[in-house]
Each structure stands twice: as C-alpha cells, then as structure tokens.
Structure 1
Amino acid sequence: MPDLSIMVNNLVIQFGDFFAVNNISFDVRKGEIFGLLGANGAGKTTTIRALLGIIIPTSGRLNIAGVESSKQTSEAIKRQVGYMSQKLTIYDDLTVAENLQLIAGLRKLNHKQFKERSEKILNMISFNQSQKTLVKELPSGVKQQVSLAASAMHDPAIIFLDEPTAGVSPLAREKFWQLIHHFAKEGKTILVTTHYMDEAEKCERIALMRAGEIIALDTPKNLKQKIFPYGIFELKPKDANLTQVLADKWSTLSDIFDLKAYGLRFHAFIHNWERFKLLDHELKKDFEVENINPSFEDVFIELVEGQNR
C-alpha cells in the first residue's frame, strides 16, 4: 500500500437540514497531485476547510499527514500543511518581503530558516522584482505565484490549494501549474480544488463532486475511457441551414446516443454501439462524421447530466 498523506472516511458536514458534504471517502498518496472538481456549491471548499480544521465535521474521520484530526491535534496538523485560498494568502498593502516575514512569524521560523526558505521559494518562482514591491502593484499571475510560495514558507508536507488560479490569464495559470508540479516532485502532496476542466487533466487523480457527493474518482485517462469507451463522434451538418432540422430528426434516438450542440456541430455520445454502427450510412447522408477524443469537460457534463436523466 502506498504512503497516504490524507485519508477521508465517511465525511459528513451538515448545516441544519443541508448536507454540504454527504458521506464522502477518498485518500491522497504522498507526493500526489489530487484534484477536487465541481461547480460552485459542490462541496469542494467545505471539504478543504474540514481538512484544515476550520470546520468541525458532523461525522466521519480525517487523517492528515499521519495525524488523526481532532481539536487536540489541530496545531500538529497546521505545522504539516500549507493553504492558499482563492482570495490569496497575502496582503495587498504589504510588500512581498513584509508578507513573507509575517508568515514566517506566524509559522515560528527563525531568522536562518526564513532567509533560506524565502530565497528558495522566490528563486523557484523566478521572482525578479524588488521584494519591497507592494503586492497590489504585482500582475495578478505573479500575485498568485507569490501567494503559493508563501503557503510553502514553512516547508509543509501537504499544500491545500482552493481555486488557486481563479481570475488569472491562461498563461499565468500554466506557469502556476508548473510550480505545483515542482512541489510534487519535491515529495509534497497537493490537494487542489478547481472548476477548470483543463486543470483537472493536470491532476494525477480527480474526484468529481456534485451536491456534496463524489460521483466519480479515478485518473483523468481512466474516467474518459469509462465514460466514453467508443470516443465521441462529431457531426457537422452538410447543409448548415438544416442544423435545427437535423437536430430535431436525430435527437429522437436518445436510446442509441445523446446529441449535444456545439455551435453548428453536434457531439454524439454513444449508448448502444452496435445500433449506432447500423446508422453509419444514414448519418453520413446528413453529416460529416469524425471520431474525436473526449475532453474532460465532456466527461464532467456526461457524469452530471447523466445522473439527471
């Protein structure tokens, strides 16, 4: 059995009659990048807050870095974890240096530790501006990188990232994920929440959450293969003027495949492969047909909407 950094068993978090998290279980291996994917309100942030000890679970067991979570062990767990929220973990009105000094003080680092860690993490993010720069003067992507670096000032075993790239450019997001992979290569465990589908594919394993429950958990590759064993067929109408007519015509065969519109094209999600193959000749009268690889967005939509059918 691999070393586990996080173990969640039958976690329930209830507010009145509302179940924010409803009996979920998962584990995260040491050095793994593990993602929680879901829409707003799915329960991702609530789960992280429970793991951090900010919220007391209604029931269930949590083990973080080998420590059973309880009121008595909260300080021991805090020493082992770093946390970056979607609202950042640094202050706009302080300089970069002041922010790092503040966090070093909160984490009880001595002067030597602070100097070594701050130099290392700023070099890691290729920070080439003055440390006297106010955080509010930094580009949003650089702010995110500094915030991530700050969350790792005390060299934690586990880093929790809650929607860390919300509101930044695609290029800044890519650079941020390079840093995440750098931390993972150092042996740190990363648990990240996101609603970006492309980011989900950067995780080693992903748990899809919906209404407080985990509806699927596996590697991105395995989830694609499970949900779409035959891939996806993209159908481009040969006559664009007949797009709606063709949609009405072919949508009646929902027992064989589901048809979803993507602009002037359709994606066919197959339920019955043998019957679908029999339609090949007829389909090609109306469409240009191409078998394409599913995206993780396709997986998410199919899992969420599939449970509503």
Structure 2
Amino acid sequence: MSLFRRSRPPQPVEDPAVAVRVDDLRRDFGSFTAVDGISFAVRRGEVFGFLGPNGSGKTTTIRILTGSLAPSGGQVRVLGTDVARDPDAIHRRIGYMSQRFSLFEDLTVEENMRFYAGVHGLSKETYARRREYVLDMADLRGREGELTADLSVGWRQRLALGTATIHEPELLFLDEPTSGVDPVARRQFWDLLHDLAGRGVTLFVTTHYMDEAANCTRLAFMYRGRIVADGPPRDLVAGGTDVLEVRCADLDGAEDWLDDAADVRDVHLAEGALRVTSPGTDPQALADRLRDAGYGDAVVRAVEPTLEDVFVGLVTGR
C-alpha cells in the first residue's frame, strides 16, 4: 500500500460574483459548427444582452447554458455548477422563457401557474405567496379563469414571465422573449425585466432587436457562431464605425448609387434619411460625389453611430 495519497487535480476557484462563465464553448451538428469556441462571463445582477441575427448561435448557446443540450467542447459553469456534468443541479435555481412562451394555451391562467409551481415543487404556502406576485406583476388579477389562448400576445408574454419566475430563480434566461410583440408591450415588458433586475435577479437575454440592447448593462454580439464584440453599450458605440447621414429628394436613387460605391460598406433608410457606413469618408467629399452623380440637393453630415451601425460594421469585417 502506498504511503502517499494520490492528489486530486486543482479545482477552479469560483468567483461568487460571476453567474455564468463560458470557456472555449463549442457545439457541432455533424459538419456544421453552430458555436465556435466562444468565451465570456456574466456577473450577478447584470442584464446581459446576447445579440445577433437568426442562425448566429444564440439559441444553441442558451440551450447549453440551461442544460438541455450537451456541448461538443469547452466548459460552462452556471451559478458555480458545471452544467455538462450536473445539469439537474441548476434547474431549481434558474428560469427560462422562450419566444414561444412555453404556455399551455388550453389551460387557464390559474392552471398554468399551478402547473409550473408543481414542476418546481413549490409548497401550497409558497405558491399562494408567489401567485399573488405573478398576478400583480403581470397585471392579470381578475383574469385567473381565462383561457391562455384568449389572451393577447402581450398578456401571454407577461404570464410566461410570471411562470418562468414563479420559483424565484437567481438567474433568468430569456430567449427572444419580445419576438412578435408590439412596441408598447415590448417597452412594458422591459420595465418588468428591470424590476426583476432590481430585485437581484441576473438576466440573460437573447435578442436580434438592436433597439433593445440599450436596456442591457452589457452586450455580446454573436455572428456565425462567434462573439465578435462585447462590452457595455456605451463603450461599443463609442468605438463604433464612422456613419454619415444623407438627405436628398431622391433617396431611393441615392441609395442605389451609394450601394454600388466601392467605399460604402452599408447603406439603409432610417427616419427619412440614408445612414451610410463609410469609414474615413469626408462628408463634403461624399456630397460632391453625389451631386456629380445627379443628386444636386444632397446634404451629408457625420452622425453618431447606433448599435445597429456598430453591429453591421462588425459582421461585415470592417
């Protein structure tokens, strides 16, 4: 018998301030790589925005983080737990809301709340307390007996948020929760999310709406399975690309001309003007070129980039 005990490999020291840590995460589906070696961390109490177009790998990543999909490589720790090794350990501590709301439309509001309370093993006393919170938060008091299918999309969204948080999770994943919701309901929904964040819940939100990104404390841009940038919204905009605004009578014609210009990387119509991504281009020089092309009334000026402008610049590699 050996007098020496075999030492165990050192375990990583967990930072209690970090809710999610991802290191070199990869997920392959056959020959297709959906998530290509990404790394990031989400601190507790953050509203973390995970942005990117459809098919960029956002949903695949969130499925891995919630333990419903195994990674092909790398490591994921959620609330200090290695998700690949013990996915069940985090289920009681996290909430999940998808764009489909995960509701049973043939059940009433009350029945949906009861079902999810049962899934999370809430006692009668705890359910009674959380029921009151959900009804007040979702403004559904008096509608407990209504079929979920009869609710508007905005009301179903609120109910879905209530059922996703009925067990008081520490961390809430929201996968494109505002998809298909009107602008007013979206704004009201974000008010609810900020209320949750104020209560100490960490929020991990995937979205492809750039206007929602300003509601987050920090962002990561996902494109083709990779993170192309991350940081606070203000910092990302400050380091963004040069953007010019073009106004003239014939915006459609000017847009076609600009789209063919070699030094123009993106052009699109927004709020009655053209926004042109063209790093290093002098506004007056571009105005002169537009006039020479037949757009004599063209006025060009430099403007502050938006997050959408920044993202377009990133994904086009410029």
Q: Could you tell me the TM-score, scaled by structure 1's length? A: 0.88
Paired with 2:133 and 2:255, the residues of 1 have a C-alpha distance of 61
1:82 alignment partner, one of 89, 92, 95: 95
1:247 equivalent in alignment to 2:257: yes
Distance 1:298 1:93, change over 3 A: same
Contact 1:197 1:297 in 2 (8 A): yes
What is aligned with 2:212? 199
State the shift of 1:243 in Å.
3.7
What is aligned with 1:269? 277
Distance 1:261 1:70, change over 3 A: closer
2:83 alignment partner, one of 69, 91, 99: 69
Which residue type is aligned with residue 132 of structure 1?
Answer: G
What is aligned with 1:292? 303
State the shift of 1:282 in Å.
3.5
Give % identity: 36
Q: Which moved more, 1:127-136 or 1:86-95?
A: 127-136
Contact 1:259 1:266 in 2 (8 A): no
Greater helix content: 1
Paired with 2:71 and 2:218, the residues of 1 have a C-alpha distance of 24
Contact 1:234 1:266 in 2 (8 A): yes
Contact 2:51 2:58 in 1 (8 A): yes
What is aligned with 1:111? 124
Distance 1:125 1:85, change over 3 A: same
Name stretches of at least 5 consecutive residues in structure 1 with no aligned partner: none
Paired with 1:144 and 1:185, the residues of 2 have a C-alpha distance of 20
What is aligned with 2:267? 260
Paired with 2:149 and 2:252, the residues of 1 have a C-alpha distance of 52
Paired with 1:180 and 1:2, the residues of 2 have a C-alpha distance of 23
1:227 alignment partner, one of 225, 232, 240: 240
Aligned residue pairs total 298
Distance 1:111 1:267, change over 3 A: same
What is aligned with 1:20? 34
1:214 equivalent in alignment to 2:221: no
Distance 1:18 1:250, change over 3 A: closer
What CA deviation, in whole Å up to 9, does each residue of 1:238-261 have, x standing for no partner?
x53994499369925x1xx54624
Paired with 1:126 and 1:43, the residues of 2 have a C-alpha distance of 34
What CA deviation, in whole Å up to 9, does each residue of 1:192-229 have, x standing for no partner?
1111111122111111111111111112221111123x
Which residue type is aligned with residue 215 of structure 1?
Answer: V
What is aligned with 1:143? 156
Name stretches of at least 5 consecutive residues in structure 2 with no aligned partner: 1-14
What CA deviation, in whole Å up to 9, does each residue of 1:166-195 have, x standing for no partner?
111111111111111111111101001111
* 1:23-38 pair list within 5 angstroms: 23-38=37-52
Q: Could you tell me the TM-score, scaled by structure 2's length? A: 0.86
Distance 1:258 1:195, change over 3 A: closer
RMSD value, Cα: 2.5
State the shift of 1:38 in Å.
1.1
Contact 2:244 2:283 in 1 (8 A): no
